[in-house]
Structure 1
Amino acid sequence: MTYDWIAFLTDYGRRDGFVAACHGVIAGIAPRVRVIDVTHDVPPQDVRHGAAVLAQTVPYLPPAVVVGVVDPGVGTHRRGVALRAGENVLIGPDNGLLSWAAEACGGTTAAVELTSPRFRLDTPATTFDGRDVFAPAAAHVAAGAHVSELGADVPVADLVRLPDPWVRVEPGTLEAEVHVVDHFGNVALAANADDLGSAGLAGAESVETTVGERRYRAPLGRSFAEVASGELVVLIDSSGHVSVAANQGDAAALLGVAPGDRLTLRSVPEGPGRHGAGPA
């Protein structure tokens, strides 16, 4: 099987030549393959953020070889792996980065460790596996190499997996950790629309958002523009997550939260109340 597409995510940024070098390796091995740059602006070494972005993105990609490189353990004994998941092959470090994306593709059905010297660059470097290991392996797979040729089998149960984000649902209350904060400062929770419904909040006019000792009341809406500029709104975002956003503002900064922090949404009595940046 060959692939027309390689999807590529890293924390390399664009100031240096790291991304271009990986593109060049892919082009040298599989010149007809096209590369989709998912993002190269994952915060440095933030495996969890990279995993969340990959998982949000892969359902909308064509069948592809998906390469993820957020790799604080590069040069150590951590494994480089290739996973079969649905119609896709996922390649990167075995540090949990690929785990949520594999689930979004239907689950990992086979895995190998990237040990074959035939499918890597022969360099003395130990700190640039994106160029020397992952990019060439992806290009060879896209050009028709079978995943089993890349190295020895790895039991799927032995792969590193990030823990599931924390969610708790009770009548009238939904508690969840912040799953990801995007470029706009929108705060996507680990909870989804079903969780909101199970908590009995789906039909609420507004909800109270609690962060530590601070409380904020916000309407439950469908778009950012349902509130005035700078005010908060709770909605289901484009990835299906319950999200706290600020119209033309930065909700994460207003709430003072980051990925991994916990928020609580509760039902509130109908009637006048404060919406926006300040405590309720």
Structure 2
Amino acid sequence: MPSAAVHGGLRDVQSLSVTSVITLLTDYGLEDGYVAACHGVIAGIAPDVRVIDVCHLVPSGDVRRGAAILAQTIPYLPVGVHVGAVDPGAGGARRAVAVEAGGRVFIGPDNGLLSWAVRASGGARAAYELSNAEHFLHPVSPTFHGRDVFAPVAGRLCAGLSAGELGPEVPVERLVTLPEPTSVLRGGAVEGEVVSVDGYGNTQLSISAGDLAALGLRTGDTLGVSLGRRRLSMPYRETYAAVPPGELVAFADSAGLIAFAVNCGDAAQRLGLPPGARVRVSPSV
């Protein structure tokens, strides 16, 4: 993900106190009691800590979507402990880790979920495997580490536990990372990919507004968009409402990335663009 400056200043992880914040991002949904159970565990350990729910509607097992949401939200979250639980490998061989970055601690599976947010926070300073079962909730369910491992560890860190007490240190270069979405300028065009699709069907690209500016493109222009063998023209505007309902539009989203949308519609469905799909954008001819 494009890096972003972290707001709120930095402080040493050892000084995290009961006035700190814990954030939660999961694919648990809102129809069951899973999220409430995580809140309850944290409240039982660190009752004065504020808990912020980032998102619990990440598509099931979609590590990439979870990584994108966390990375693009982290600049606006207070310094604290950030829990990610999009974990299709729960109960398997994957490690559970705590990663220090930019005065924050990220807790979750070592499956790449945390990697873009860690990078957006300035990069990993240290990492620890969550192996000291003394700090877990018992008995530990092999399929619910969010409740039994990640939530209690987060609460104990805010209550004064040192990250170094969680388990052995993991070399940061051995942490699992997701490939960074990229954009490439060549041949009078910029090539990229769909980073994620939000709940409205908007398709966010790895292509930035700066990439289009480098091609001489500004809002008000028309883009030439190539999707495999398909080619179409699309207006480049500031908002969805700049085009009539039902019409396609390209715009720079709140992360500074180009997104395709349909005013009052679903661009991902209209265009058949899943995450990872390749896109080429050029001036319209």
Q: TM (normalized to structure 2)?
A: 0.91
- The AA in structure 1 aligned to 2:174 is D
**Does structure 1 residue 132 correspond to structure 2 residue 151?**
no
1:272 maps to what in 2?
Answer: none
Is the Cα contact below 8 Å between 2:189 and 2:281 reproduced in 1?
yes
Instruction: Name the Cα RMSD after superposition.
Output: 1.3
Quote the offset at 1:198 in angstroms. 2.7
SS state at 1:38 partner: strand
Matches within 5 A, 1:73-152: 73-152=89-168
**Does structure 1 residue 157 correspond to structure 2 residue 173?**
yes
Q: Deviations over 1:149-168 (max 9, x none)?
A: 11110000000000111422
SS state at 1:96 partner: coil
Matches within 5 A, 1:1-280: 1=15, 2=17, 3-202=19-218, 205-269=221-285
Distance 1:124 1:103, change over 3 A: closer
Aligned residues: 269
Quote the offset at 1:203 in angstroms. 6.3
Q: Deviations over 1:179-228 (max 9, x none)?
A: 01111111100121222223333467110112122222111111111111
Distance 1:58 1:198, change over 3 A: same
SS state at 2:82 partner: strand
- The AA in structure 2 aligned to 1:67 is V
- Contiguous gaps of at least 5 residues in structure 2: 1-14
- The AA in structure 1 aligned to 2:160 is G
Is the Cα contact below 8 Å between 1:171 and 1:199 reproduced in 2?
no
Distance 1:204 1:151, change over 3 A: same
Q: Tell me the distance in 2 between the aligned counterparts of 1:72 and 1:259.
A: 18
Is the Cα contact below 8 Å between 2:234 and 2:249 reproduced in 1?
yes
Between the two proteins, what is the percent identity of the paired residues?
Answer: 52
Q: Tell me the distance in 2 between the aligned counterparts of 1:69 and 1:44.
A: 11
Q: Tell me the distance in 1 between the aligned counterparts of 2:220 and 2:33.
A: 50
Q: TM (normalized to structure 1)?
A: 0.93
Distance 1:204 1:223, change over 3 A: closer
Distance 1:4 1:107, change over 3 A: same
Q: Tell me the distance in 2 between the aligned counterparts of 1:181 and 1:126.
A: 30
Q: Which moved more, 1:2-11 or 1:35-44?
A: 2-11
Q: Tell me the distance in 2 between the aligned counterparts of 1:85 and 1:194.
A: 27
Quote the offset at 1:237 in angstroms. 0.2
Q: Deviations over 1:79-137 (max 9, x none)?
A: 10001110211000000000000011111111000011221112052111111110001
Q: Which moved more, 1:131-140 or 1:246-255?
A: 246-255
1:278 maps to what in 2?
Answer: none
